Amino acid sequence: MDTTTVDALVADYLRRLDAAASRLPADRRAELLAEISEHIAAARASGSGAEAEVRTLLDRLGDPDEIVAAASDGEPAQDVAFTSRAPSVALEIAAVLFLTVGSLLLVVGWLVGVVLLWSSRRWTTAEKLLGTLVVPFGPFGVLILGGLIGGQQCVTTTTSSGPATPLGGTEEAGLQTTEVCSGFALPPWLGIPVLLVAVVGPFVVAGLLVRRARARAALEPPVVRRSTGSAWGGLEIAAVALLGVGWLVLPIVGPVAGLACAWASAAWTSREKWVATAIAGGGLLLPVIVLVAGVALARGGGVG
Amino acid sequence: MSAGLLVLTLFVAQPLGAIGAAVYLAVRLNARTAAD
Protein backbone atom coordinates (compact mmCIF):
# COMPACT_ATOMS: atom_id res chain seq x y z
CA MET A 1 0.00 0.00 0.00
CA ASP A 2 1.30 3.43 -0.86
CA THR A 3 0.31 5.63 2.08
CA THR A 4 1.46 8.79 0.30
CA THR A 5 -0.87 8.18 -2.64
CA VAL A 6 -3.82 7.44 -0.36
CA ASP A 7 -3.11 10.55 1.75
CA ALA A 8 -2.91 12.62 -1.43
CA LEU A 9 -6.28 11.23 -2.62
CA VAL A 10 -7.94 12.16 0.66
CA ALA A 11 -6.29 15.59 0.77
CA ASP A 12 -7.42 16.31 -2.79
CA TYR A 13 -10.99 15.27 -1.98
CA LEU A 14 -11.06 17.48 1.13
CA ARG A 15 -9.60 20.38 -0.87
CA ARG A 16 -12.38 20.08 -3.47
CA LEU A 17 -14.97 19.83 -0.71
CA ASP A 18 -13.53 22.91 0.96
CA ALA A 19 -13.68 24.87 -2.31
CA ALA A 20 -17.26 23.75 -2.96
CA ALA A 21 -18.27 24.70 0.59
CA SER A 22 -17.07 28.29 0.23
CA ARG A 23 -20.68 29.46 -0.20
CA LEU A 24 -21.67 28.10 3.23
CA PRO A 25 -21.40 30.15 6.43
CA ALA A 26 -17.99 29.78 8.08
CA ASP A 27 -19.18 27.69 11.02
CA ARG A 28 -21.24 25.37 8.82
CA ARG A 29 -18.34 25.02 6.41
CA ALA A 30 -15.88 24.09 9.19
CA GLU A 31 -18.43 21.71 10.69
CA LEU A 32 -19.00 19.97 7.34
CA LEU A 33 -15.27 19.62 6.69
CA ALA A 34 -14.66 18.23 10.18
CA GLU A 35 -17.57 15.81 9.81
CA ILE A 36 -16.38 14.40 6.48
CA SER A 37 -12.73 14.28 7.62
CA GLU A 38 -13.70 12.31 10.71
CA HIS A 39 -15.83 9.96 8.66
CA ILE A 40 -12.94 9.25 6.26
CA ALA A 41 -10.46 8.79 9.11
CA ALA A 42 -12.79 6.37 10.91
CA ALA A 43 -13.43 4.37 7.72
CA ARG A 44 -9.70 4.16 6.97
CA ALA A 45 -8.92 3.09 10.53
CA SER A 46 -11.47 0.28 10.43
CA GLY A 47 -10.45 -0.95 6.97
CA SER A 48 -7.17 -2.04 5.44
CA GLY A 49 -6.41 1.46 4.17
CA ALA A 50 -5.66 0.16 0.68
CA GLU A 51 -5.84 2.62 -2.19
CA ALA A 52 -8.75 0.83 -3.91
CA GLU A 53 -10.70 0.79 -0.66
CA VAL A 54 -10.18 4.52 -0.10
CA ARG A 55 -11.21 5.29 -3.70
CA THR A 56 -14.44 3.33 -3.15
CA LEU A 57 -15.02 5.19 0.12
CA LEU A 58 -14.65 8.58 -1.59
CA ASP A 59 -16.92 7.49 -4.46
CA ARG A 60 -19.59 6.47 -1.96
CA LEU A 61 -19.34 9.79 -0.16
CA GLY A 62 -20.18 11.42 -3.47
CA ASP A 63 -19.19 14.50 -5.35
CA PRO A 64 -18.17 17.41 -3.07
CA ASP A 65 -20.62 19.73 -4.89
CA GLU A 66 -23.49 17.34 -4.13
CA ILE A 67 -22.50 17.08 -0.46
CA VAL A 68 -22.44 20.86 -0.17
CA ALA A 69 -25.77 21.18 -2.03
CA ALA A 70 -27.32 18.75 0.46
CA ALA A 71 -25.75 20.54 3.41
CA SER A 72 -26.85 23.97 2.23
CA ASP A 73 -30.58 23.12 2.06
CA GLY A 74 -32.25 25.92 3.94
CA GLU A 75 -28.99 27.80 4.45
CA PRO A 76 -28.97 31.32 3.06
CA ALA A 77 -26.26 31.94 0.48
CA GLN A 78 -23.76 34.52 1.51
CA ASP A 79 -21.35 36.82 -0.24
CA VAL A 80 -18.55 36.56 2.30
CA ALA A 81 -15.41 35.37 0.51
CA PHE A 82 -13.03 32.81 1.92
CA THR A 83 -9.52 31.99 0.98
CA SER A 84 -8.14 28.50 1.15
CA ARG A 85 -4.45 27.79 1.09
CA ALA A 86 -1.98 25.05 1.91
CA PRO A 87 -0.79 24.93 5.53
CA SER A 88 2.09 27.29 6.25
CA VAL A 89 5.66 26.01 6.37
CA ALA A 90 6.94 29.25 7.95
CA LEU A 91 8.40 27.42 10.95
CA GLU A 92 10.32 24.99 8.76
CA ILE A 93 11.65 27.71 6.44
CA ALA A 94 12.73 29.79 9.44
CA ALA A 95 14.49 26.75 10.89
CA VAL A 96 16.61 26.05 7.80
CA LEU A 97 17.36 29.75 7.29
CA PHE A 98 18.67 30.04 10.85
CA LEU A 99 20.63 26.77 10.49
CA THR A 100 22.36 28.08 7.35
CA VAL A 101 22.35 31.88 6.91
CA GLY A 102 21.64 32.41 10.63
CA SER A 103 25.01 30.85 11.47
CA LEU A 104 26.46 34.22 10.46
CA LEU A 105 25.55 35.20 14.01
CA LEU A 106 28.07 32.96 15.72
CA VAL A 107 26.44 30.05 17.63
CA VAL A 108 23.25 32.00 18.55
CA GLY A 109 21.65 31.96 15.09
CA TRP A 110 22.43 28.27 14.62
CA LEU A 111 21.04 27.42 18.08
CA VAL A 112 17.79 29.23 17.22
CA GLY A 113 17.64 27.10 14.07
CA VAL A 114 18.14 23.90 16.08
CA VAL A 115 15.31 24.82 18.46
CA LEU A 116 12.97 25.55 15.53
CA LEU A 117 14.08 22.34 13.76
CA TRP A 118 13.18 20.18 16.78
CA SER A 119 9.87 22.02 17.37
CA SER A 120 8.51 21.12 13.93
CA ARG A 121 6.26 18.08 13.61
CA ARG A 122 6.87 17.75 9.88
CA TRP A 123 10.30 16.13 10.17
CA THR A 124 11.27 12.71 11.45
CA THR A 125 13.80 12.29 14.25
CA ALA A 126 16.37 11.08 11.71
CA GLU A 127 15.88 14.24 9.63
CA LYS A 128 16.16 16.42 12.72
CA LEU A 129 19.40 14.68 13.68
CA LEU A 130 20.70 15.18 10.15
CA GLY A 131 19.83 18.87 10.25
CA THR A 132 21.54 19.25 13.64
CA LEU A 133 24.70 17.32 12.92
CA VAL A 134 25.34 18.59 9.37
CA VAL A 135 27.14 20.74 10.39
CA PRO A 136 27.35 21.82 14.07
CA PHE A 137 27.40 25.66 14.24
CA GLY A 138 26.36 25.90 10.56
CA PRO A 139 28.41 26.72 7.45
CA PHE A 140 29.38 30.24 8.47
CA GLY A 141 29.98 29.13 12.06
CA VAL A 142 32.59 26.69 10.78
CA LEU A 143 34.27 29.42 8.74
CA ILE A 144 34.22 31.97 11.56
CA LEU A 145 35.37 29.48 14.22
CA GLY A 146 38.14 28.31 11.87
CA GLY A 147 39.30 31.92 11.49
CA LEU A 148 39.18 32.58 15.25
CA ILE A 149 40.98 29.39 16.28
CA GLY A 150 43.71 30.22 13.81
CA GLY A 151 44.92 26.78 12.68
CA GLN A 152 48.62 26.00 12.78
CA GLN A 153 51.22 28.74 13.15
CA CYS A 154 54.99 28.21 12.86
CA VAL A 155 57.81 30.48 13.96
CA THR A 156 61.33 30.01 12.58
CA THR A 157 64.29 31.31 14.57
CA THR A 158 67.96 31.30 13.57
CA THR A 159 70.74 31.46 16.14
CA SER A 160 74.48 31.83 15.46
CA SER A 161 75.97 29.24 17.79
CA GLY A 162 75.38 26.87 20.67
CA PRO A 163 76.96 23.72 21.98
CA ALA A 164 73.81 21.68 21.93
CA THR A 165 71.60 21.02 18.93
CA PRO A 166 67.96 21.42 19.85
CA LEU A 167 65.58 18.66 18.96
CA GLY A 168 64.17 19.27 15.50
CA GLY A 169 66.81 21.91 14.62
CA THR A 170 69.42 21.86 11.86
CA GLU A 171 72.99 23.01 12.02
CA GLU A 172 74.70 24.57 9.03
CA ALA A 173 77.89 26.71 8.96
CA GLY A 174 77.50 27.54 12.65
CA LEU A 175 73.87 28.66 12.29
CA GLN A 176 71.00 26.82 13.90
CA THR A 177 67.52 27.08 12.48
CA THR A 178 64.66 26.07 14.74
CA GLU A 179 61.04 25.90 13.72
CA VAL A 180 58.43 25.82 16.47
CA CYS A 181 54.86 25.11 15.44
CA SER A 182 51.73 25.49 17.54
CA GLY A 183 48.12 24.69 16.84
CA PHE A 184 46.67 22.13 14.48
CA ALA A 185 46.06 22.03 10.75
CA LEU A 186 44.88 19.39 8.32
CA PRO A 187 46.97 18.76 5.20
CA PRO A 188 45.54 20.62 2.15
CA TRP A 189 44.44 17.42 0.36
CA LEU A 190 42.16 16.65 3.34
CA GLY A 191 41.46 20.12 4.70
CA ILE A 192 40.02 21.62 1.49
CA PRO A 193 37.45 18.83 0.83
CA VAL A 194 36.45 18.82 4.53
CA LEU A 195 35.94 22.58 4.43
CA LEU A 196 33.88 22.36 1.22
CA VAL A 197 31.63 19.67 2.72
CA ALA A 198 31.26 21.70 5.93
CA VAL A 199 30.18 24.79 4.00
CA VAL A 200 28.07 23.23 1.21
CA GLY A 201 26.60 20.32 3.24
CA PRO A 202 24.23 22.37 5.42
CA PHE A 203 22.71 24.09 2.36
CA VAL A 204 22.12 20.73 0.63
CA VAL A 205 20.51 19.30 3.78
CA ALA A 206 18.44 22.49 4.17
CA GLY A 207 17.06 22.07 0.64
CA LEU A 208 16.17 18.45 1.36
CA LEU A 209 14.44 19.34 4.64
CA VAL A 210 12.36 22.13 3.07
CA ARG A 211 11.28 19.86 0.20
CA ARG A 212 10.13 17.14 2.60
CA ALA A 213 8.34 19.61 4.89
CA ARG A 214 6.49 21.12 1.90
CA ALA A 215 5.50 17.68 0.61
CA ARG A 216 4.10 16.71 4.03
CA ALA A 217 2.31 20.06 4.45
CA ALA A 218 0.64 19.56 1.05
CA LEU A 219 -0.99 16.39 2.37
CA GLU A 220 -2.59 18.22 5.30
CA PRO A 221 -6.11 19.71 5.01
CA PRO A 222 -6.10 23.27 3.69
CA VAL A 223 -6.33 26.25 6.00
CA VAL A 224 -9.53 28.24 5.45
CA ARG A 225 -9.62 31.91 6.31
CA ARG A 226 -12.11 34.69 5.76
CA SER A 227 -10.80 36.93 3.02
CA THR A 228 -10.06 40.49 4.15
CA GLY A 229 -9.74 41.84 0.61
CA SER A 230 -6.18 43.02 1.23
CA ALA A 231 -2.96 41.22 0.36
CA TRP A 232 -1.45 42.43 3.64
CA GLY A 233 -1.77 39.72 6.29
CA GLY A 234 0.12 39.09 9.53
CA LEU A 235 2.91 37.24 7.74
CA GLU A 236 3.44 40.01 5.19
CA ILE A 237 3.49 42.74 7.85
CA ALA A 238 5.96 40.67 9.93
CA ALA A 239 8.23 40.17 6.89
CA VAL A 240 8.44 43.86 6.05
CA ALA A 241 8.73 44.95 9.70
CA LEU A 242 11.49 42.47 10.53
CA LEU A 243 13.45 43.43 7.42
CA GLY A 244 12.88 47.14 7.93
CA VAL A 245 13.66 47.49 11.63
CA GLY A 246 14.52 43.97 12.87
CA TRP A 247 18.25 44.62 12.46
CA LEU A 248 18.01 47.33 15.16
CA VAL A 249 16.86 44.80 17.76
CA LEU A 250 18.60 41.67 16.53
CA PRO A 251 21.35 42.26 13.96
CA ILE A 252 21.38 39.58 11.25
CA VAL A 253 18.74 37.45 13.04
CA GLY A 254 16.00 40.07 12.49
CA PRO A 255 16.48 40.34 8.70
CA VAL A 256 16.86 36.55 8.42
CA ALA A 257 13.54 36.09 10.25
CA GLY A 258 12.00 38.69 7.91
CA LEU A 259 13.17 36.73 4.88
CA ALA A 260 11.72 33.56 6.43
CA CYS A 261 8.32 35.26 6.75
CA ALA A 262 8.53 36.53 3.16
CA TRP A 263 9.30 33.05 1.85
CA ALA A 264 6.47 31.55 3.90
CA SER A 265 3.96 34.05 2.50
CA ALA A 266 1.98 33.34 -0.64
CA ALA A 267 1.51 37.06 -1.33
CA TRP A 268 4.78 37.42 -3.26
CA THR A 269 5.95 35.53 -6.30
CA SER A 270 9.09 33.39 -6.20
CA ARG A 271 10.89 35.95 -8.35
CA GLU A 272 10.04 38.76 -5.89
CA LYS A 273 11.22 36.61 -2.98
CA TRP A 274 14.52 35.88 -4.72
CA VAL A 275 15.08 39.58 -5.52
CA ALA A 276 14.41 40.52 -1.87
CA THR A 277 16.73 37.74 -0.67
CA ALA A 278 19.49 38.97 -2.98
CA ILE A 279 19.10 42.58 -1.80
CA ALA A 280 19.11 41.64 1.91
CA GLY A 281 21.66 38.84 1.44
CA GLY A 282 24.27 41.22 0.00
CA GLY A 283 24.12 43.32 3.15
CA LEU A 284 24.27 40.23 5.36
CA LEU A 285 27.22 38.62 3.59
CA LEU A 286 29.42 41.68 3.26
CA PRO A 287 30.35 41.90 6.99
CA VAL A 288 31.27 38.20 6.96
CA ILE A 289 33.45 38.58 3.86
CA VAL A 290 35.20 41.52 5.51
CA LEU A 291 35.66 39.55 8.75
CA VAL A 292 37.05 36.44 7.00
CA ALA A 293 39.32 38.55 4.77
CA GLY A 294 40.55 40.51 7.79
CA VAL A 295 41.35 37.35 9.76
CA ALA A 296 43.11 35.82 6.75
CA LEU A 297 45.21 38.95 6.20
CA ALA A 298 46.07 39.22 9.90
CA ARG A 299 47.20 35.60 9.97
CA GLY A 300 49.20 36.03 6.77
CA GLY A 301 50.98 39.07 8.20
CA GLY A 302 51.72 37.38 11.54
CA VAL A 303 53.35 34.21 10.18
CA GLY A 304 57.11 34.07 9.51
CA MET B 1 41.92 45.68 7.27
CA SER B 2 40.66 47.65 10.22
CA ALA B 3 37.90 46.90 12.66
CA GLY B 4 36.32 50.11 11.43
CA LEU B 5 35.59 48.55 8.08
CA LEU B 6 33.91 45.60 9.76
CA VAL B 7 31.74 47.89 11.88
CA LEU B 8 30.91 49.96 8.82
CA THR B 9 29.76 46.95 6.81
CA LEU B 10 27.90 45.42 9.76
CA PHE B 11 26.02 48.59 10.69
CA VAL B 12 25.64 50.13 7.23
CA ALA B 13 25.55 47.36 4.60
CA GLN B 14 23.33 45.06 6.64
CA PRO B 15 20.64 47.66 7.45
CA LEU B 16 20.75 49.05 3.91
CA GLY B 17 20.24 45.59 2.42
CA ALA B 18 17.46 44.71 4.85
CA ILE B 19 15.66 48.04 4.41
CA GLY B 20 16.04 47.78 0.63
CA ALA B 21 14.44 44.33 0.67
CA ALA B 22 11.61 45.57 2.94
CA VAL B 23 10.87 48.52 0.66
CA TYR B 24 10.95 46.32 -2.45
CA LEU B 25 8.50 43.79 -0.95
CA ALA B 26 6.18 46.52 0.35
CA VAL B 27 6.11 48.30 -3.02
CA ARG B 28 5.40 45.10 -4.93
CA LEU B 29 2.59 44.07 -2.57
CA ASN B 30 1.01 47.52 -2.60
CA ALA B 31 1.14 47.60 -6.39
CA ARG B 32 -0.60 44.23 -6.54
CA THR B 33 -3.28 45.30 -4.02
CA ALA B 34 -3.92 48.47 -6.02
CA ALA B 35 -4.18 46.51 -9.29
CA ASP B 36 -6.72 44.14 -7.75
A258, B22 contact by CB (below 8 A): yes
CA–CA separation, B7 vs A102, rounded Å? 19
Q: Do B16 and A283 touch (CB under 8 A)?
A: yes
Q: Do A286 and B14 touch (CB under 8 A)?
A: yes
Q: Give domain limits for chain A.
A: 3-80, 90-146+187-302, 151-182
Q: Do A243 and B18 touch (CB under 8 A)?
A: yes
Q: Is A252 on the interface with B (CB under 8 A)?
A: yes
CA–CA separation, A53 vs A51, rounded Å? 5
Interfacial B residues in 1-36 facing A (CB < 8 Å): 1, 3, 5-6, 9-11, 13-26, 28-29, 32-33, 36
Q: How far is CA A228 from the centre of its chain?
A: 29
Q: Is A246 on the interface with B (CB under 8 A)?
A: yes
Min CA distance, B28 vs chain A (Å)? 8
Angstrom distances, CA of residue A129 to CA of A29, A91, A224, B21: 40, 17, 33, 33
The lowest-confidence range among A106-110, A137-141, A220-224, B18-22 is A220-224
Angstrom distances, CA of residue A112 to CA of A95, A117, A195, A235, A245: 8, 9, 23, 19, 20
**Nearest CB neighbour to B26, from listed A230, A240, A290:** A240
Average pLDDT, rounded, for chain A: 79
Half-sphere exposure of A140 (CA within 13 A, CB side): 23
Residues of chain A found within 8 Å of residue B19, distances taken between Cβ atoms = 243-244
Q: Do B18 and A254 touch (CB under 8 A)?
A: yes
The more confident residue out of A176 and A275 is A275
**Nearest CB neighbour to B18, from listed A246, A275, A297:** A246
Q: Do B14 and A240 touch (CB under 8 A)?
A: no
Q: What is the pLDDT of residue A249?
A: 77
Q: What is the pLDDT of residue A53?
A: 81
Highest-confidence segment of A85-94, A204-213, A246-255: A204-213
Q: What is the pLDDT of residues A21-75, one digit of tens each?
A: 887 777 888 888 888 888 888 878 877 778 888 888 888 788 888 888 777 765 5
